[in-house]
Each structure stands twice: as C-alpha cells, then as structure tokens.
C-alpha cells in the first residue's frame, strides 16, 4: 500500500461511541479536529440509518419494501448504497447479494443484534435461496427503485462500509486532518496518515482490548475490513447460526474461515472482498490472489494465510495505541 504521510509531532486524538448496532471509533491527526470529526460522523451515521436500516419502519428501504413491487422514488444516498450493493453482487459472482434479507430475517436476525442474541424462537422455517440481485431494478439517474414484492434487501454490510468512506472523506476535507473511521471492523482512511501509519490491531471481536489483539498492522490509505463468523452468532432452532448468509442456500455460510481481513482502495471494496472470502471458502485463496488485494485469512483451526503482499504475522508492537478491527 502506498503511504501518504504526515510529520505532525502530536499524537492522534481518538474518540468513539455506540452506533448502528456496533461501535464507531474515529481518530484525527490534529487533536483539535476531534470535536468536529465526531459531529460529522454522527451526522453521516444518522443519515445512513434513516436510509438503509431494515430495523426502522420509517427508513427509506422499509418504505420501498412496502411499495408492493411498484417503483419508489428514493434519495441520492440510498441510490448510491444500492448501486454499490448491486455492483458488489456482480463483481463477486453473486456471493455477496443484498437480496438475502428474507433469509436473514427467517434465521432470526429481524431486530437489533443485542435482542437477537438474547434469544430466538425455536421454530425453523425451511431455508430458501435468495431471489438474486438481478431482480432489483434501479434507475440511478432518476433515483427510482423497484423491489419485487416479497423480496427484502439487507444493506447492512455495504451501508456501514459506505458510511465509513463517506465520513472519513468528509472529516478530512472539513478539518484538513488525517482521519480514520472504524465502524465495527470496517475502516476507512482519508487525508495524511501519521508518519508510521495508523496502527490497527486484528482480532475476532472489534471490542477486543489492544493488548489482546492477534496482530497489529500499519495502514496509510484506503480501506481495511474484517469479516468473521465467530462473534455475531446466535441459536435458532437446534442450529448455531451467524450473520453471513449464503444466498445460494439461505443459511449461514458453511466456511473454512473464521476471519478474513482485506485491504483495498476503499472500505466498500475491502468489505466486499472480506465478506466474499468467507462465502467463497477454499476458493477464496485463488479468487483474492487474482484480485491482487492484500489479505489475511484465519482458518477455523487457527492457521493463518496471507496473500497479496500482506506482511507475515509478527505480533503486537510495544506501546501499541491503535484500535482493534
């Protein structure tokens, strides 16, 4: 990854708050920019929640679901997120498909995850394949969306990464400071990074304390995302399930990977690749090598594979003061 460095002597300022069912961490290379950074990030997250949340009856996507298969006028923001989700579906050969919404709901993830984890009904609805992203009609020029009746979109993953990219860019432009935004493992960088890069620890859970991270990497630009199957899990019926759903089966992905971390030019691209890696299973090694993206994959038995120039694991540097993905 190319570096865009700053020689600022001051240590970056960090902040954070709960948002979108996860935690938002953010940092600026200029400490006095941190207050404005938080205001901008909160504004971006509120906008993405109003547009894309399937847990809000008043969100734009919920209103589009209620349109009964008829076209709906949507905002430019929702248009961009859905366009990104459809492009990702095409680029990943349908592995990362936004039409898994109904399957996710039928697995029990029909409300905020804290409530899902507290307990799901024992009944299991037989899983069905997702209808497929090609059934969604989007006129991006005129902001018109048509979702077939009965189809539900799950934009959570793409929307979160999109929000990270938008917020980081807006903060850097407004404050002139190098910026990091981390939304539950979806990281976006903008502006000039610290001279030694942004230190980011990797672990299965994004709220892991820095000293307990598996490894730390330095990142200067673009995006970094991690997807895993070990944290957002719950019991539904007699099965242990997780939130990454295979559109071909309607069930949680049966995969050889418990964590996939990918660096890319944007957080949206990194998140798409890390999620796809979980769904691709063993073929992820070949597919990601063809994409040329730096990545670190952890098998279910703990074995680590790195590709695309990702450095070999060297542990945690003394004095690590970054954040854990």
What's the CATH number where 302 sits? Answer: 3.10.520.10
In a domain, 4, yes or no: no
Residue 242: domain span: 11-324
Write down the pLDDT at residue 248.
92
Tokens for 164, please give them: 């990270």
- CA angle centred on 234, ends 253 and 152, rounded to 5°: 60
In a domain, 312, yes or no: yes
In a domain, 1, yes or no: no
Identify the residue whose tokens are 């997702």. 130
- Closest by Cα among 303, 249, 294 to 106: 249
Write down the pLDDT at residue 127.
77
- What does 143-157 look like in DSSP terms, one character per residue? TEEE--TT-----HH
In a domain, 5, yes or no: no
**Quick check: helix, strand or coil at residue 281?**
helix
- What's the rounded Cα separation, in Å, for the pair 18 and 24? 6
What angle do helix axes 34-52 and 76-91 make, rounded to 10 degrees?
A: 80
> What are the helix (H) ranges across the chain?
34-52, 60-65, 76-91, 101-106, 113-117, 156-175, 267-280, 284-291
Residue 126 CB contacts under 8 Å (≥ 6 apart), including other chains = none
Tokens for 67, please give them: 């349109």
* Torsion from C-alpha of 53, 55, 57, 62, nearest 10 degrees: 50
**Quick check: helix, strand or coil at residue 86?**
helix
Domain count within the chain: 1
DSSP-assigned letter for residue 227: E
Write down the pLDDT at residue 2.
34
In a domain, 2, yes or no: no
In a domain, 158, yes or no: yes
- The 10s digit of each residue's pLDDT in 79-114 is 999 999 999 999 999 999 999 988 888 776 555 655
DSSP-assigned letter for residue 116: H
In a domain, 71, yes or no: yes
- What's the rounded Cα separation, in Å, for the pair 158 and 180? 18
Decide the pairing of beta strands 5-6 and 193-194. Answer: parallel
For every one of its 325 residues, what pLDDT tens digit does the chain have, with 9 covering 90 and above? 333 344 445 789 999 999 987 889 999 999 999 999 999 999 999 999 999 998 899 999 999 999 999 999 999 999 999 999 999 999 999 999 999 988 888 776 555 655 555 555 555 667 789 999 999 999 999 999 999 999 999 998 899 999 999 999 999 999 999 999 999 889 999 999 999 999 888 876 656 666 677 788 899 999 999 998 866 665 566 666 667 888 999 888 788 999 999 999 999 999 999 999 999 999 999 999 999 999 999 999 999 999 999 988 765 554 445 555 5
Write down the pLDDT at residue 7.
41
- Closest by Cα among 169, 173, 183 to 221: 169
In a domain, 6, yes or no: no
Helix/strand/coil (H, E, C) string of 8-31?
A: CCCCCEEEEEEECCEEEEEEECCH
| pTM confidence score | 0.88
Write down the pLDDT at residue 3.
32
């Amino acid at each position: 990854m190319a570096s865009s460095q700053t020689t600022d002597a001051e240590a970056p300022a960090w902040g954070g708050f709960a948002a979108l069912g996860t935690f938002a961490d953010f940092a600026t290379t200029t400490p006095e920019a941190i207050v404005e950074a938080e205001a901008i990030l909160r504004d971006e997250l509120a906008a993405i929640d109003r547009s894309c949340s399937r847990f809000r009856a008043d969100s734009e996507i919920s209103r589009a679901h209620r349109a009964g298969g008829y076209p709906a006028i949507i905002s430019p923001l929702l248009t961009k997120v859905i366009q990104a989700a459809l492009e990702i579906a095409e680029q990943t050969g349908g592995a990362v498909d936004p039409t898994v919404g109904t399957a996710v709901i039928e697995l029990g993830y029909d409300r905020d995850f804290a409530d899902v984890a507290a307990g799901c009904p024992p009944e299991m609805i037989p899983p069905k394949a997702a209808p497929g992203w090609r059934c969604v009609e989007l006129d991006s020029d005129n902001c018109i969306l048509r979702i077939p009746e009965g189809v539900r979109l799950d934009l959570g993953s793409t929307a979160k990464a999109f929000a990270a990219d938008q917020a980081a860019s807006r903060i850097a432009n407004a404050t002139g400071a190098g910026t990091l935004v981390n939304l539950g493992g979806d990281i976006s960088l903008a502006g000039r990074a610290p001279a030694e890069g942004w230190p980011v620890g990797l672990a299965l859970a994004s709220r892991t304390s820095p000293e307990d991270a598996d490894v730390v990497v330095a990142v200067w630009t673009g995006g970094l995302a991690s997807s895993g199957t070990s944290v957002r899990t719950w019991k539904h019926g007699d099965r242990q399930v997780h939130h990454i759903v295979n559109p071909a089966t309607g069930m949680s992905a049966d995969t050889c990977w418990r964590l996939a971390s990918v660096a890319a030019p944007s957080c949206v691209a990194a998140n798409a690749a890390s999620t796809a890696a979980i769904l691709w299973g063993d073929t992820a090694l070949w597919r990601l090598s063809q994409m040329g993206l730096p990545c670190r994959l952890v098998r279910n038995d703990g074995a680590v594979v790195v590709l695309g120039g990702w450095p070999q694991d060297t542990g945690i540097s003394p004095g690590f003061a970054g954040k854990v993905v």
